[in-house]
Chain A
Amino acid sequence: MQRKSTLALTALLAGCAAMTAGDYRDRAVQTMKADFNERGQAKLDRLDQDETQTLCSRTPADGAPDKEVAARIEKINHDSVRYPADGKLLGDWREGEKIAQSGVGKQFNDNPKAPAGGNCYACHQLSPQELSYGTIGPSLRNFGKIRGGGEAVQKYVYAKIYNPQAFTACSNMPRFGHNGILTEEQIRNVAALLLDPQSPVNR
C-alpha cells in the first residue's frame, strides 16, 4: 500500500515536472516575444505566426506534416492567390532578372520605401551567365524551354511565385505575393524571366 502510493506520487510529480514538446514550443514563443526590439520596419508583430507558419514550424521529432495537414496548408494558401485583374501574367524578363539578382527588402536596415528584390539567385540557378547561385531550391535553368509557355504554365508560374505553399506545403520559398514582398508587376517580370523564350534562362 505504502509502496503503491509512493509510486503514484512519483508519477504525479513527473507528470507535473515534465514539459511536453508543446509546452517548450509555447515557452519558446513567449521567450522570443520578450527578446526582440522593434527596429526600422521590423516590428514585433513579425514574431506572430499565421496558421501556415505555425503548422510549418516543425522539429525533426515532429517530422513532415501528414497528408491532411499538408492538404489544409495547400488549400488555405491556394485560396489566397490573386491573379492580375487584367489577366496579363508575363512582363519584361530584363526587369525580372534585376529582381532575381536583388536581395534587398524587409530587413530592419532596408529602406521600407524602396522596392524589394526577389533574391531568386540566392537559392536557384537561372541564367547561365550568373555563376553565383544557391542550391536551396531546384535549378530553374531552361524552365520555359522544358515546360513551354502556354496559359496554364503561365498561371502556374504566377501562382507559384505569389504563393509557393499553394502547391508545396511548408516550402522554404517565401510567399512573395501573399506576404507583399513583390508587387503584381514584379511577379509578372519574374514570371517572364522564367518563361519568355528570349530570356537567358531559356537560351
Chain B
Amino acid sequence: MTKGLMGALAVLVVAAGYARAQSDAGTLKGIEKYREALADDNPADLWEARGAELWSAKRGPKGAPLAQCDLGKGPGVVKGAYAELPRYFADADRVMDLETRLVHCMVTLQGFSPAEATRRPFGNGSNRSDFEALAAFVAAQSRGAKMSVSLDHPKERTAYLLGEQMFFYRGGPHDFACATCHGESNKRIRLQDLPNLTDTKDAQRAYTTWPAYRVSQGELRSMQWRLNDCFRQQRFPELKFASETSIALTMFLARNANGGVFSAPTIKR
C-alpha cells in the first residue's frame, strides 16, 4: 500500500506543478493518474475482512451470527444482494436499505435493542463501526453484478418518488438541495467532478463505487455516510441513521443506477 500511495502522491505533486503551466485538461489528467495509482492497493480489504468476521460471529444476547440474515435473496444469501437494495421486505412490510436490514437482523436474530444496534453508524479511528465493515463485506459480494433495483412493489415506488422529492428539496441558509450540486452534468466543485445523479451514466458511475476507502480520512465510508456528509455540506441538520429519508434517497439513487456494474468497495481521495 505504502508504495502505491507514495507513487500516487508523487503524481499529485507533479500534477499540481504542471497544472500551473498547463490547461484544465492537464490538471484533470493528473487527477486521473492519481486515481489510477490509488487503485493498486485498497485498504478497504481490511474492512471487508472484519465485516466477514462480524457476519459469522456469534454476538448479542441470543449469541447468534448474522449469517442467516435475509438480505432479500433468501436467508444467508449475500452474493448479489447489495445490487438489489433497497427493496421491499414482506416480513417487515417496508422498504429497507442495507443498513436498515442489518439493524433488523441484529434485533431479530441477535437480540440487540435498536439503540444498541445503531450505537455507532460511522467509525472514527479506533472507534470502529460495525456497519462500515459489514457494508464493505456485503457490497463486495456484489462486485460484477448489475444494479437491479425493483420498483414493482407499491412501497418501492413510493420510496422512490419520496426520494425524488427530497433530492430536489431546497432548504437551509444556503438554499441547497442535493440537486444543486448533483442535478447537472459536467460540473465540478473546485476540482472535484460532480456526478449528475439524475443521469443514468453518472448515477451508475457514482453509486457503483460506494462504499469507498477515503484516503483523506483513513476510513472506509458507506453510501449512508456519503448522504450524511452531503447534508452537512448542505447546511442541513444531521440525518438520522437508517431513517426513512435515507432509505428513500438511497432508493432514488440506487434505482437511477440500474444497469450499472457494481464495483465497490473502491478507493477515493
Contact check, B170 vs A56: say whether CB atoms are below 8 A apart.
yes
Q: Which residue from A57, A108, A135 sits with its C-beta under 8 Å from B177?
A: A57
Q: Which of B24, B162, B181 contacts A31 (CB 8 A)?
A: B162
- Whether A27 contacts B162 by the Cβ 8 Å rule is yes
Of A39-47, A141-149, A151-159, A193-201, the stretch lying at the interface with chain B is A39-47
When distances are taken between beta carbons in the complex, the residues of chain B under 8 Å from A134 are 187-192
B contact residues, total (Cβ < 8 Å): 46
Who on chain B is nearest to A22 by CB? B165
A37 touches B238 (CB 8 A): yes
- Residues of A whose CB lies within 8 Å of any CB of B are 19, 24-25, 27-29, 31-32, 34-39, 42-44, 46-49, 52-53, 56-60, 106-109, 121-123, 131-136, 172, 174-175, 179-181
Question: Given A57-B168, A181-B173, are A107 and B162 neighbors across the interface (CB < 8 Å)?
Answer: no
Interface flag for B166 (CB, 8 Å) = yes
- Does B208 count as interface, using CB distance less than 8 angstroms? no
Q: Are A136 and B238 in contact (CB under 8 A)?
A: no
Q: Are B189 and A123 in contact (CB under 8 A)?
A: yes
B233-269 CB contact bits vs A (8 Å, 1 = yes)? 1011111100111101000000000000000000000
Provide the residues of chain B in CB contact with A28, threshold 8 Å.
162, 165-166, 169, 248
Report the bound CA distance from A25 to B192 in whole Å.
31
Contacts of B166 in A (CB 8 A): 28, 31-32
Give Cα distance in the complex from A135 to B28, angstroms: 13
Collect the chain B residues with CB atoms within 8 Å of residue A47's CB: 171-172, 236-237
CB distance from B39 to the nearest CB of A (A): 23
Nearest Cβ distance between residue A155 and chain B, in whole angstroms? 23
* In the complex with contacts A131-B19, A132-B190, A133-B190, A39-B248 CB distance below 8 A: no
Chain B residue nearest in CB terms to A179: B173
Closest 6 CB pairs of A and B: A28-B165, A35-B243, A35-B245, A36-B237, A39-B238, A174-B174
Beyond A31-B162, A49-B170, list 19 extra A-B contacts (CB 8 Å): A19-B161, A24-B165, A28-B166, A28-B169, A29-B165, A36-B231, A36-B245, A38-B237, A39-B237, A42-B237, A42-B238, A46-B173, A59-B168, A106-B174, A107-B233, A109-B232, A136-B181, A136-B187, A181-B174
**A residues in contact with B150, CB < 8 Å:** none
Interchain residue pairs with CB less than 8 A apart (28): A19-B161, A24-B164, A24-B165, A28-B162, A28-B248, A29-B165, A31-B248, A34-B244, A35-B239, A35-B244, A35-B246, A36-B236, A36-B237, A36-B238, A38-B238, A39-B237, A46-B235, A47-B236, A57-B168, A57-B170, A57-B177, A106-B174, A108-B237, A122-B190, A132-B190, A132-B191, A134-B188, A135-B187
Nearest B residue (CB) for A23: B161
CB distance from A69 to the nearest CB of B (A): 14
Do the beta carbons of A57 and B173 come within 8 Å of each other?
A: no
Most chain A C-beta atoms within 10 Å of own C-beta, residue among B19, B27, B235, B238: B235
Tell me which residues across on chain B come within 8 A of A53, comparing CB atoms: 170-171, 175
A176 to B238, CA, bound (A): 22
Q: Which of B75-116 contact A (CB under 8 A)?
A: none
Q: Please measure, in the bound complex, the distance between the C-alpha atom of A29 and the C-alpha atom of B168, giving whole angstroms.
A: 11
* A53 to B, closest residue via Cβ: B170
Q: Would B236 and A46 count as touching, CB distance under 8 A? A: yes
Q: Point out the residues of chain A lying under 8 angstroms from B124, CB to CB.
A: none
A122 to B190, CA, bound (A): 5
Evaluate contact between A49 and B171: CB separation under 8 angstroms: yes
Q: Is B180 an interface residue (CB 8 A)?
A: yes
B residues near A46, Cβ cutoff 8 Å: 171-173, 235-237
